[in-house]
């Protein structure tokens, strides 16, 4: 039984994570956390998901939550909150699953440092399908090489605050890495006006925000006379939540280190260059 704490519990993803834990017979909802001052602090976590009384109070402190007996903290919050939480988890030797997007390079460095002491699984997307798509993008980039133009198109709901999405960036990084490029140097984020002919060494990103789109991602490999499209469409946040719970179970068996969803699914060694 993996005892799980969830931060940002009153948010859209937090509520979905609670449901996913309650639906998993091998997981236990040990604690939930919301920001200090939230109207539901002190209430039972069941109020967040319409499940009646669960016997788990909504706490305003992760330190207090860890006192409830926690194996893994699952954090889908904001970069600043995640950095605070990973510091607490590192101090208390508690494993952490991180789905927060929009982390800067220096903020990712904080995760790497913490992973010297605790087990951390961080991914921009915990969907099994997206994780598989990352491998398919690597394969396509390896086969098609520099003979195609690569574009990443993503769409999300109107409330998403970062762009491009973390998943879109991860897909672009997967292609760039195989091709020996630095995404920081070759990424083009949108186009406007007289742009001139497209540079084949670039990777383009297009972002759509609107309505209640959960998450759509397409990587387009456009050549002369043909194109390959790798597309993943999410219709429910539960896809991400069940993947995060799967990661938590896996992480509970690790002592330290920085991992991602490909480690959880055993995909890391596939397609490795010989």
Q: Which of 85, 156, 217, 232 is catalytic?
A: 156
Cβ contact 6:15 at 8 Å: no
Active site annotation includes 160: yes
Sort 69 into a burial class: Cβ within 10 Å, 0-12 / 13-18 / 19+.
exposed
Q: Which of 38, 92, 135, 160 is catalytic?
A: 160
Rounded distance, CA 140 to CA 235, Å? Answer: 25
Alpha helices (H) along the chain: 12-23, 46-49, 62-66, 79-91, 105-114, 128-144, 166-178, 183-186, 238-251, 261-265
Rounded distance, CA 137 to CA 59, Å? Answer: 41
211 forms bridges with which residues in the sheet?
none
Active site annotation includes 156: yes
Rounded distance, CA 137 to CA 218, Å? Answer: 10
- 224 DSSP assignment: S
Q: Which residues are catalytic?
A: 156, 160
């Amino acid at each position: 039984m993996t005892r799980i704490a969830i931060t940002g519990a009153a948010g859209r993803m937090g509520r979905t994570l609670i449901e996913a834990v309650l639906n998993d017979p091998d997981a236990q909802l040990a604690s939930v956390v919301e920001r200090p001052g939230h109207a539901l602090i002190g209430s039972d976590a069941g109020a967040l998901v319409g499940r009646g009384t669960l016997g788990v109070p909504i706490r305003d402190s992760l330190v207090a939550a860890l006192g409830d007996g926690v194996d893994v903290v699952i954090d889908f919050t904001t970069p600043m909150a995640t950095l605070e939480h990973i510091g607490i988890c590192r101090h208390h030797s508690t494993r952490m699953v991180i789905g927060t997007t929009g982390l800067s390079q220096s903020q990712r460095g904080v995760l790497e440092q913490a992973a010297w002491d605790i087990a951390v699984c961080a991914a921009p997307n915990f969907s099994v399908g997206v994780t598989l798509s990352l491998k398919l993008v690597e394969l396509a980039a390896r086969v098609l090489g520099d003979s195609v133009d690569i574009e990443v198109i993503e769409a999300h709901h109107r409330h998403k605050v970062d762009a491009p999405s973390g998943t879109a960036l991860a897909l672009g990084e997967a292609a760039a890495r195989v091709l020996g490029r630095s995404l920081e140097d070759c990424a083009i984020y949108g186009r406007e006006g007289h742009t001139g002919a497209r540079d084949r060494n670039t990777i383009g990103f297009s972002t759509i925000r609107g309505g209640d789109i959960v998450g759509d991602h397409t990587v387009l490999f456009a050549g002369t006379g043909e194109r390959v499209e790798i597309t993943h469409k999410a219709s429910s946040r539960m896809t991400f939540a069940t993947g995060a719970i799967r990661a938590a179970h896996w992480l509970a068996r690790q002592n330290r280190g920085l991992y991602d969803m490909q480690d959880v699914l055993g995909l890391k060694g596939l397609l490795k260059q010989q």
